[in-house]
Structure 1
Amino acid sequence: MNATRRRFIGQSACSALGSVSVLNTLLNLKLAGNAAAQAAPTDHRTLLCLFLHGGNDSYNWLVPRDSARHAVYAETRDHLALGTGVLRPLNQDGGDGQLYGIHPSCPGLQELFNGLGGDSAKRRAAFISNVGTLIQPVTKAQYLAESMPLPRALYSHSDQIDQWQTSVPQGMTQLAGWAGRAADVLNNVVNADSISMNISLAGNSLWQVGNSTTQFVVTDSGALTFTGSDIGDELHPMRLKNAAHRSMIEQNYANLMQQSYARLTKNSIELQEFFLQQFNSYDDSAISSLFPSGNWVAQQFRAAAKMIALRDSLGLHRQTLYLSFGGWDHHGELLETQAEMLTMMDAALTAFQRALDQLNLQDSVITYTASDFGRTLRSNGRGTDHAWGANALVMGGPVRGGRIYGTFPDLTLESNDDTGYGGRTIPTTSVDSLFAEMLRWFGVPAADMDYVLPNIANFYNVNSSSLPIGFLKNGTWS
């Protein structure tokens, strides 16, 4: 599959933006949320999600490297197995004490795990092993007996994407993502009355839609403007169309609904133009050379770095960013295609983290990867099929890097970690635990955590002085 087609698939995973959907997406209604009484922070923090649409085969991304466990891995994966000689060694500083390697296409993440620039004090990356959607903890016996509630429509792309983004795997009556609900709690308390806390570089994402707040959709070139202020040609059809739209909304209407619609539309346009002005005025020449010009994923991250640097100008003490990279549904051509895609992702993530360090912003940003689900350990002949538990990356200055967290599964087929269908690992760490740890750092109060993560009490006591997983450094969370 060529890069152009994969990019199309990735972009197609996001909702298409017509004029009406753009309007609905961009309006920051500033409705009051469920904000708990708390002092507005003086610092800045950003949570960035890179969603790998299609289901990344993460058991060829993170691989056991010791002889005994690698032998099990090789027997289970058969012709898909990567040899120890090609794996890039990960040198753990604690963690589970086991030996691991990362895919050979990831030299940058290897360096971020082992220590940026060879400095072990700059271990910026870690992995959370065998993480997935759960309503409550479940064993293989309970799974087979169906004696415990299970996530709805396991192994379905659309359902599992929704569940990673909502953290409500049993389904819900209203569609809101957990970053959106976090914005319901925090936005009016921590941010100025300007741009929405939740900014997407990849179209509409359920993750960032709240019950009383919404996301702000932009591109890696800046904002989506109705006025065409980024179009130089005065006679460009889009500029003429947008000028007509501006004229329409500036009319005086007797109907209250029309008045309200016009006012909100005008506010949305002005916010977009304000954002675009700030974005275009920021000089990122100090970091631009870090991002490969032919790598469109890297260009998303370059834009994200600019948006993080602009937090103060945008009035954002708390900010989430959503990026996506599609095309990971490798039922065939797994070895060749994943290697190429991991090369692109590795370069993008590495450039982004280097840029943050260069701008001295590394301690205020956490990046994590999410994907529909893991993939089967057993090959289908050419690739792998839909599964459940997977490995996720967490990255940033607040992360206690250089470690593998969670419980890495037994990769033996039919083991107690396998549902019994081709090596579908049963998650031993819930996405709720992963999200709750980042949200504690982000500033969501314990009293509001069950609003943001309705199932969190099944995995973690939000009033605990400890963390659910422990991948954050001491002193970085409240």
Structure 2
Amino acid sequence: MNPSLKTRRQFLGEASCASLGSISVLASLLNLKLTNQAAAANLPSGNDCKTLVCILLAGGCDTFNLLVRRDGGYNDYAASRSDMALPKADLINLNQAGGGDGNLYGIHPSCQGLADMFNGTGEFAASGPRLSMVSNIGTLVQPVTKAQYVSSSSGVKLPKSLFSHIDQINQWQTSVPQGLSELSGWAGRMADVIHSEMNTGATSMSISLAGNNVFQIGKATRQFAITQNGALLPTGNSAGLNNITARKNLAVDGLLGATYRNLMQDAFADHVKLSHESQRAFDAIYKSIDDSAIAPLFPNSNIAKQLLTAAKTIKARDQLGLRRSTIFIQRGGWDHHGELLNTQAGMLTELSEAIAAYQKALEILGVADDVISYTASDFGRTLRSNGRGTDHAWGGNQMVWGGPVAGGKVYGAFPDLALNSNDDIGLGGRMLPTTSIDKFYEEMALWFGVSSADMDLILPNIGNFSSSPDLGFIA
């Protein structure tokens, strides 16, 4: 068959991962874009715009101390966690809308902002509940029971290298946990499918505030990396750049062209120069966004600065030619084998304040109904204490929030936290996930505009979970 006659679906499904993967990796390293920014045309007003934002809590966040049962289930939690258990009296009550799953929950005492987003109180009294939780979620190739997990003859496929940071963090981004040589992420594959139909092509659909990542790499999609200060420019991102800076930019363009000419011919140099030009174009658009009403909301933390930049970038979507976009953010340091209680309390305070400020900013900017944000992490942690902290495990709890989210509920099946229960595969209380990341991602992908017919391109294992109930967290 003539390649030019293939459908987009055939191309994406049959293309070599080795050849296309190398293109994607090269593109991400060079921070290229799909077309020349200078040729961008603004999106017509009134068109629907949607942004999906992933916040990766790298290291494996202990989320069974984030979401805690405060009814009869608290007793199993306290017994299993021993010295790592939070006092019930310290928990902030979460009031599930309509009764939710029938359980009573509390959230970590450092998370007042998240509690207000869940309950629709405080700064979110006017908007109502904006945040929900998804309980005991994790990587799965197919549904699995504890008996199947422990049986060497069950034939059930399990995620590759369970409990490994690098493998699990990549699997959360690829949604291909069997460890195939898949170099693309599920957001990158979404961009492969819908970017050309939804966007002008002026800017990559994949925008990262945390450098290169697997999540946004597609077989034909490139990332666009920015910083917490906006554009990624070799001359810096500070305000008030003068004529000297402009002359430096011109010099950099010339040097880039000369330096790389002998490495990969003129095309390589042109791509690098284009990347620099596109960053300057982004910088001009980013700086045109008035943040005077939202900047004071954000505390002085790295994650808060990233989220402020994300909010401004979302607001700039028309100028960037983006009807659909994804944004990737990362906050590391959650691998708490020691000093869990004190360290996590400080980090959760920082995270809660930053997320609440970000969601409030989206409300003020008038884009809250167009954005879904969620957290991901390598894995959950063991229920059992190691004496100072907790160790690598499997299932955990994650957050999802935004205007389109049916807030104020806990979705999924919260596990039995008694050690050696049917939800515990052993080795210190490792929870067998009751919800696959595929079901979580499927709902967001459908909301984003991916058709059911294309879903297996985005989530190759989704057919294994066809009998699993939908979570239903999108209103």
Give the TM-score category using the shorter length: 0.7 to 0.9
Match of 1:276 among 254, 273, 283: 283
The answer as to 2:57 corresponding to 1:49 is: no
Moved more, 21-30 or 295-304: 21-30
Asked if structure 2 preserves the Cα contact closer than 8 Å seen for 1:25 and 1:204, the reply is: no
Moved more, 127-136 or 250-259: 250-259
The answer as to 2:63 corresponding to 1:61 is: no
The answer as to 2:167 corresponding to 1:152 is: no
Question: For each residue in 1:88-146, what CA deviation from the matched residue of structure 2 results, as whole angstroms up to 9, or x when unmatched?
Answer: 00001132111000000000110100004363861000000000000000000000003
Match of 2:78 among 55, 74, 79: 74
Asked if structure 2 preserves the Cα contact closer than 8 Å seen for 1:30 and 1:213, the reply is: no
Asked if structure 2 preserves the Cα contact closer than 8 Å seen for 1:25 and 1:217, the reply is: no
The letter of the residue matching 2:371 is: V
Report the identity percentage.
53
Give the 3 Å change call, closer, same or farther, for CA 376–233 of structure 1 in structure 2: same
Counterpart in the other structure of 2:254? 247
Moved more, 118-127 or 428-437: 118-127
Equivalent-residue separation in structure 1 for 2:63 and 2:460 (angstroms)? 27
Moved more, 358-367 or 147-156: 358-367
Q: CA deviation at 1:263?
A: 2.3
Match of 1:97 among 97, 102, 108: 102
Q: Indicate the SS of the match to 1:127.
A: strand
Counterpart in the other structure of 1:335? 341
Moved more, 449-458 or 259-268: 259-268
Match of 2:324 among 299, 310, 318: 318
Asked if structure 1 preserves the Cα contact closer than 8 Å seen for 2:257 and 2:269, the reply is: yes
Q: Indicate the SS of the match to 2:181.
A: coil
Q: Indicate the SS of the match to 1:411.
A: coil
Number of residue pairs aligned between Structure 1 and Structure 2: 438
The letter of the residue matching 1:114 is: N
The answer as to 2:463 corresponding to 1:457 is: yes
Counterpart in the other structure of 1:166? 174
Asked if structure 2 preserves the Cα contact closer than 8 Å seen for 1:124 and 1:396, the reply is: yes
Counterpart in the other structure of 1:362? 368
Give the 3 Å change call, closer, same or farther, for CA 81–281 of structure 1 in structure 2: same
Give the 3 Å change call, closer, same or farther, for CA 430–82 of structure 1 in structure 2: same
Flag structure 2 segments of 5+ consecutive residues without an equivalent. 1-24, 37-44
Q: TM-score, normalised by structure 2?
A: 0.87
Counterpart in the other structure of 1:393? 399
Equivalent-residue separation in structure 2 for 1:175 and 1:400 (angstroms)? 33
Counterpart in the other structure of 2:15? none
Give the 3 Å change call, closer, same or farther, for CA 232–119 of structure 1 in structure 2: closer
Q: TM-score, normalised by structure 1?
A: 0.87
Give the 3 Å change call, closer, same or farther, for CA 30–419 of structure 1 in structure 2: farther
The letter of the residue matching 1:81 is: A
Give the 3 Å change call, closer, same or farther, for CA 239–368 of structure 1 in structure 2: farther
Equivalent-residue separation in structure 1 for 2:183 and 2:46 (angstroms)? 29
Counterpart in the other structure of 1:6? none
Structure 1 vs Structure 2 CA RMSD = 2.6
Counterpart in the other structure of 1:111? 116
Asked if structure 2 preserves the Cα contact closer than 8 Å seen for 1:112 and 1:125, the reply is: yes
Equivalent-residue separation in structure 2 for 1:107 and 1:394 (angstroms)? 16
